[in-house]
A and B are shown apart, each in its own frame.
Chain A
Amino acid sequence: MELSSLSIGELHEKLLRREIRVKDIVEDSLKSIEKKEDQINAFIEVFRDEALERARELDIILEEKKNLPLLFGIPIAIKDNINVKGHSTTCASRILLGYKSLYHATVVERLLNEGAVIIGKTNMDEFAMGATGEYSYFGPTRNPHNPEFSPGGSSSGSAAAVAAFEAVASLGSDTGGSIRLPAAYCGVVGLKPTYGRVSRYGLVAFASSLDQIGPIAKSVEDTARLFVTIAGYDPMDSTSMNLEVPTIEELLSSEDVKFTLGIPDVLDEANIEESVGKKFDEVLRFFEREGLKLKRISLPHIKYSVEVYHLIVTSEASSNLARYDGVRYGFREDADTLENMYIKTRSQGFGPEVKRRIMLGTFALSHGYYDAYYLRALKVRRLIKNDFLEAFKDVDLVILPVAPSPPPRIGETTDPVSLYFLDIFTSPANLTGFPAISLPSGRMEFNLPTGFQLIAPSFREDLLFKIASFYEKGHGFGLH
């Protein structure tokens, strides 16, 4: 049996009964990686020796332990846009080759404080720009349920590693759906916390006003364990909020789920593929059967989400990625003049999608265009948020599919703009800052999973966890 297929709770029981040691869990995870990596390519770097050394240390501590910290001995994979001290952080880009992190991201420090074992850094779309995991300097990640298909992106490796039992859980980042989409495509749970809930210190910025780090795991409880570990105020991130984080018990009590779920009218017009729509209807029927109220809600501006999202994302990215200039770290292509060094380094260091977005963003922020594009996008962003706030007066949560279509075949999509529309249901949670959880809802054709998401008001992750564990217990993820 693969130990990484077990939940954190189950592993902890075995540890406490001394049936296994941390070393067994870590070795098992490394064995999985060895066996499957050739096919899946979920990792950019595996911390083999370091993880085994950490396991040895934890096993010594284990001797005296009666209770275990939340993530004690648990192999966790980290998306390669999050800094882990002493290791490279590539963002799956050539431009960061040779860069070594001088510090731990706050989330990594918090995982380590709860006893986690960092097992490695995961593959992704370059600088988190992409929805399929194909835009990586290190080659595409493949879907563990069917390697012909994409695992979704941009946290492709983080979702695939969990689904393939290479790690027990992982961290991803979500700017427009980058946790929820691969989680749905890989049949695992993914949470995008409220903007400001989890420190971004140490997360390589893509679009600073939208980026959030979040957990990916096989179960709702595992997801909650990671969430409460990484959440909470961090003085190093001026956008993190000083609010109390609920305890794991508070998150998982599922007695009172008499919620009203809002179904946005945008679903009528959206181009949803039949297989996805069918699974989504099944989920709605389940909640209805269980006595939850379903209510149609109007979100008139949500249809502009993709456009607004891409204007903001590209603008912020064009500035955030300016620091990769070959001067201080990473890849450099020398040239006769400073300007030529910049041009060569950045032309050769960035992949095509990153360059596309830098150019779009540079244009949108240019003198004379700023008001028409960036400023207007900010205004519509506000309108989208107002729509949701209005809806939350009538409903507790909003329910939506994660993506309008099933995972694409690897190499199939050549038109970048069509990929942008994979974010249509996920980007609103980033634009509004609201927390959203993606849950598996069974399999479709080609053995491929699909999922749905629930969106809650700001800092109400507790609502998401309550309904998620209710669903997990009553319906199950439909993957077996």
Chain B
Amino acid sequence: MENKLEPVIGLEIHIQLNTETKLFCKCKNEYGATPNTHICPVCLGYPGALPVLNEEAVRLALKVALALHADIHKLSRFYRKNYFYPDLPKGYQITQYTESLATGGYIEIETSKGYKRIRLERMNIEEEAAKSIHTDTGEVLLDYNRSGIPLLEMVTLPDMNSPEEARTFLEKLRLILRYLEVSECDMEKGELRVDANISLRKPGEKLGVKVELKNLNSFKSVYDGLNHEIERQKKILQGGGTVIQETRLWDEYKKETRTMRVKEEAHDYRYFPEPDLPPLVVRDTEIEELKKTLPELPDEKLKRFVSQYNIGKDQARILSLNKNLADYFERAAQVAEDKRLLANWINVEILGYLNENNLGIQEFRIHAEELGEFLNYVSRGKLSYNMAKDIFKKTLYNEESLKHLLEEALSSTISSQELEKIINKVLEENQELVEKFRNGKTGVLGALIGKVMKETRGRADARKVKEILESKIGSPKT
């Protein structure tokens, strides 16, 4: 068999919606609380307790559906998915099934071959199971704090053709969900969970046998797990074998996938409509209201930043990757005259500092408006870029006030008369250099600038010094 095998990847994603309370009861939806403190008869499945749908969860799910261009169904339904497991207190999970909240929709990603739409099959609301903790002694401990937390289930079509695309898709999805403020998507906390379906085929041929890959606990493990699974399947197919349909687990430590269960063991979940809940009806007016609350999404923001502020696309992309950072930029841009300088400053000076110190922009000490004003001194030539950088650094690392340092620097900045005097003096004392310059040795200009800067003790703007020098000594003879 030839080497040209194309991976076909689809993802099944579960997102915990960050509501105040759980999906069917009033218990708090909170991560990391003392186990079994956010529980009640409903989320414990006690006899006689009934579910009441949390409308906030529906709103958040609808926001996602709208943002991803999905078709929202006016009427959807909850079903019971029946199976026995200790983390499932009722013996069934309340979920949506054939009558989904939304179908269709897509996320556009940028690949090495250009833009590509990854289409979505459906979006469903469902409840989370309790958390099972397996102890070293073989016991299973159950934390029902997680039981009943609202989940948004999202299934893509098999539109991804490489682990890179899968990772890019997930990064884009996470970015959008963060923009929408429906989930922080922290995979370590289980706020975002991903299973992948993967098969190989020769391009143009029909889909191969797919394997479901589970236990992908980070974007890195999605990427690594898929790569390893692709290699495994390649080896089988190239050796003339067949891939069997099964569910495999990714082992992050051993760097391998291994069989969890084969298809024949699949459950019969005996789905039927949940009689305790009426159908979920979404009204047009509700959708219209929600549309108004949708924030500008990353793609739109990127385009707008480029056109409105005339900044580079790469800088606009970095800014739009984080909604808070983008907001910071825009607030500063209200004040800053040079938007390119501002964008560059944020990308280089601020992001560098934040990354180095593991901080978010929300924790950054210098207000956006203050930064805008500060940079205006640079763009108006009152402060050199290097001086500004020094002041900025001092402000951040020595926790000195930006305003104070700025005032100090400005008061010590040399006046144009004084600068002129110094330049004249330097020219007089260095006639031979001036001569060399006029004879075409333009490199000596640097030496002249250096001498002026030394005389001013660094109080002058080097760019300005250069301008004045050039105007004074004229152009080199050709």
Contacts and interface: CB of A to CB of B under 8 A. Distances in A.
B48 A105 contact: yes
Interface in A350-366: 362, 365-366
Interface in B363-407: none
Interface stretch (B89-97, B170-178, B292-300, B442-450): B89-97
Contacts of B90: 322-323
A238 B51 contact: yes
A102 B44 CA distance: 11
Contacts of B276: 205, 208, 238-239
B41 interface: yes
Contacts of A315: 272
Interface residues of A, number: 44
A338 interface: yes
Contacts of B272: 315-316, 319, 365, 370, 374
A302 interface: no
A209 B275 CA distance: 5
Contact of B47 (A83, A209, A366, A374): A83
Contacts of A201: 48-50
A203 interface: yes
B268 A366 contact: yes
Interface stretch (A325-333, A393-401, A448-456, A468-476): A325-333
B46 A102 contact: yes
B48 A82 contact: yes
Interface centre among A81, A207, A239, A328 (most CB of B within 10 A): A328
A306 interface: no
B84 A236 contact: no
A316 B275 contact: yes
B275 A204 contact: no
B277 interface: yes
Nearest to A240: B50
Contacts of B41: 102-103
A89 interface: yes
B270 A367 contact: yes
A71 B441 CA distance: 111
Contacts of B51: 238
Looking at chain B's contact residues, the main secondary structure is loop
A118 to B, nearest CB: 16
Interface in B232-278: 268, 270-272, 275-278
Interface size class, chain B: 20 to 34
Contacts of A138: none
B82 A322 contact: yes
A99 interface: yes
B86 interface: yes
Contacts of B49: 103, 201-202
B187 interface: no
A374 B89 CA distance: 24
Looking at chain A's contact residues, the main secondary structure is loop
B359 to A, nearest CB: 44
A200 B44 contact: no
Nearest to A200: B50
Nearest to A322: B91
A96 interface: yes
B45 interface: yes
A200 B92 CA distance: 19
A203 B46 CA distance: 11
Contacts of A202: 48-49
Nearest to A330: B47
Interface in B10-59: 41, 44-53
A336 to B, nearest CB: 12
Interface string B428-458: 0000000000000000000000000000000
B354 to A, nearest CB: 46
Interface in B122-167: 142
A386 B1 CA distance: 64
Nearest to B274: A208
A138 B41 CA distance: 26
Contacts of A367: 268, 270
B459 interface: no
A10 interface: no
18 contacts: A200-B48, A200-B50, A202-B49, A209-B275, A238-B276, A316-B275, A318-B82, A319-B91, A319-B270, A319-B272, A322-B92, A323-B45, A325-B84, A327-B86, A328-B46, A328-B89, A362-B270, A366-B270
Given A91-B47, A238-B53, 7 more contacts: A208-B275, A238-B278, A239-B275, A239-B277, A321-B91, A323-B45, A370-B270
Return the 10 tightest CB-CB contacts between A and B, nearest first. Answer: A322-B91, A365-B270, A208-B275, A209-B275, A204-B47, A202-B48, A323-B45, A367-B268, A323-B91, A83-B48
Interface of B: 41, 44-53, 80, 82, 84, 86, 89-92, 142, 268, 270-272, 275-278
